[in-house]
Structure 1
């Protein structure tokens, strides 16, 4: 890498303000959701049911348990991904639009395709890293597929993730160089948790490669993506926000019926890696 930029955690209100600029709504601190006396919180309910077999574990035991849990899913075809992304990434301020991952731009759902100015389907775990292409499974898993501007998607290509590089045209706050891509601050944690989800979900036992993160940025077509140390930092400094949490719920309720455990339990990143 030719240069490095340090990423600092931002206060919650700053994060809310940035979302407000993105969506065009007034910035207000998120209100706490009250829980009736004797009523379990949603997180507690998930722990009592969905994540029951993973609780109390760390390291490889936790990773193995989570793999078994999240492997129970409905798979989509690559063509079905279009409509799924229109739901999972819907702009909360404009139901006719989606929010693009790297640019942060709100764009009409109908403007999807392959032409300049369109949005297309970005594989956050680059599909050449493990050579799974668009095959049903890792190639269509919407936990790591996101809407993105065609040209910005091309700039990212199949690069690993790291800090540093030159500013990406048309995508403020994103940087890229010859071997890596740095997303804008507001989605750094999102990117990290998508990568780590893929590493737990695809362990080489379902006819696809065993996907694993590492600390390299020269992985080529190997089934690895880096830089793990930076991804862990991003996950810690950019915790899940309401958009990411809602996306997890929509995928679980309407499409794949599995969850990204690192959105529900961000502390499991450190517990495994």
Structure 2
């Protein structure tokens, strides 16, 4: 075999290998993750997909949970959302602004408790349970929170003047890129955690907006996309750990295993 022939053979072989790797690992795939909790906390979920995975996670994250009152949420958020660069402040969800922990309240530039799964979607209000679950409660600027209201999540609309990077229209809200995945994982956590037991509504995502008072939040296809595009960062992971260690003693499984989103909602 000549050197040219050998080169062509090697090039062809390399091309086959490259194609095979590319086919097996699409650019949009969420990498499979492993955690220190797989052999303990998640042991009954590992290896499952679809409804069996969702059912297993519901049992895991609903067991031995500590529930907060709505007043206790204030102090919890001061710890879960603490600014890592300034322990006197919290980071606000939609604006990304670092603001004094003590400036919580109802005035326009205060921060308040944002229900990421809008509390009117299922009409659970601020009652103990879904209304006080800090996995989906975040500090937010009062007026920006009002702009979001109870809208479903989707892409598009006009930019929110007070919160550049966020967009809104009549029936949906699009958060800034840095927290799109956070929002998706909070919504999907709520769907797995609240399945109609304990007197709570059965919360489910759907691929619609303008869900009104139905126990549904959309748009699912967009939330799945955001989960892929904005993987969990250090702030989100630390928040999950603080909730587990210090408050509710359960975890958001989609922060630990973001690939489980696609495994459940195919």
Q: What is the TM-score with the length of structure 2 in the denominator?
A: 0.86
Number of aligned residues: 233
Matched, 1:93 2:85: yes
Hey, what's the Cα distance between the residues in 2 that align with 1:45 and 1:178? 43
1:240 is matched with which residue?
232
Residue 43 of structure 1: how far off its partner (Å): 4.4
Matched, 1:145 2:131: no
Hey, what's the Cα distance between the residues in 2 that align with 1:235 and 1:156? 20
Hey, what's the Cα distance between the residues in 1 that align with 2:248 and 2:55? 20
1:179 is matched with which residue?
171
Hey, what's the Cα distance between the residues in 1 that align with 2:35 and 2:244? 17
> Over the residues paired in the alignment, what is the CA RMSD in angstroms?
1.1
Hey, what's the Cα distance between the residues in 2 that align with 1:190 and 1:44? 18
Q: Which has the larger radius of gyration?
A: 2
3-state SS, counterpart of residue 147 of structure 1: strand
Hey, what's the Cα distance between the residues in 1 that align with 2:161 and 2:136? 23
Do the aligned partners of residues 44 and 89 (structure 1) sit closer, same or farther apart at CA in structure 2, a change above 3 Å counting?
closer
Question: Deviation digits for residues 30-49 of structure 1, max 9, x if unmatched?
Answer: xxxxxxxxxxxx94430000
Residue 94 of structure 2: which of 78, 102, 106 is its match? Answer: 102
Hey, what's the Cα distance between the residues in 2 that align with 1:44 and 1:71? 19
Hey, what's the Cα distance between the residues in 1 that align with 2:243 and 2:203? 21
2:218 is matched with which residue?
226
Hey, what's the Cα distance between the residues in 1 that align with 2:243 and 2:104? 20
Do the aligned partners of residues 182 and 50 (structure 1) sit closer, same or farther apart at CA in structure 2, a change above 3 Å counting?
same
Is there any run of 5+ residues in structure 1 with no aligned partner, and where?
1-8, 10-41
Hey, what's the Cα distance between the residues in 2 that align with 1:216 and 1:207? 25
Hey, what's the Cα distance between the residues in 2 that align with 1:218 and 1:153? 17
Matched, 1:112 2:104: yes
* Structure 1 residue ranges (4+ consecutive) displaced by more than 4 angstroms after TM superposition: none
3-state SS, counterpart of residue 140 of structure 2: strand
Q: What is the TM-score with the length of structure 1 in the denominator?
A: 0.84
- Structure 2 counterparts to residues 116-265 of structure 1, below 5 A: 116-265=108-257
Hey, what's the Cα distance between the residues in 2 that align with 1:257 and 1:49? 14
3-state SS, counterpart of residue 95 of structure 1: strand
3-state SS, counterpart of residue 126 of structure 2: coil
Matched, 1:53 2:50: no
Hey, what's the Cα distance between the residues in 2 that align with 1:108 and 1:155? 22
Conservation of the 8 A alpha-carbon contact between 2:35 and 2:256: no
3-state SS, counterpart of residue 52 of structure 1: coil
Hey, what's the Cα distance between the residues in 2 that align with 1:205 and 1:134? 17
Hey, what's the Cα distance between the residues in 2 that align with 1:143 and 1:117? 24
